[in-house]
Amino acid sequence: MTDEAQRRLAVALQYEKHTDQAPRVVAKGRGMIADQIVALARENDVVIESNPVLVEALSGVEIDDSIPIELYEAVAAVIGFVLRQNTRQGDVGSEPVSEEIGTA
């Protein structure tokens, strides 16, 4: 595995307004797994936002755990971005939010 493949990192978040207290990590991985997460997100029209610093921080959160309070503000900005994108596309709902990184 190359250094570049080891650095690729993806984290997928899900937040359902009426059932989740906070967004939670539903998938994460490096290298080929990160590529699969991103490909699956694209196949399902999930908005992808690249933020290397945030995704590195989110990669430390266990799958199915809510994000820590320290990341609320940063993740809220991403959710706002996703909602704006969904509104432009006419697709407002409780879609998963994906975080993706080319290199971290």
CATH number of the domain that residue 13 is part of: 3.40.1690.10
Q: Is 25 helix (H, G, I), strand (E, B) or coil?
A: strand
pLDDT grade for 102, boundaries at 50, 70 and 90 = very low
- Residue 4 CB contacts under 8 Å (≥ 6 apart), including other chains: 103
**pLDDT the model gives residue 56:** 94
Beta strands 9-14; 24-30: pairing state: antiparallel
Q: What is the per-residue DSSP string for 36-64?
A: HHHHHHHHTT--EEE-HHHHHHHTTSPTT
Both tokens of 94, joined, read 């409780």
Query: Range of 53's domain?
Result: 3-101
- Residue 47 CB contacts under 8 Å (≥ 6 apart), including other chains: 81, 82, 85, 86, 95, 97, 98
Q: What is the pTM of this model?
A: 0.75
pLDDT grade for 103, boundaries at 50, 70 and 90 = very low
**pLDDT the model gives residue 74:** 92
Q: Which residue do the tokens 């990590």 mark?
A: 25
pLDDT grade for 86, boundaries at 50, 70 and 90 = confident
**Domain total in the chain:** 1
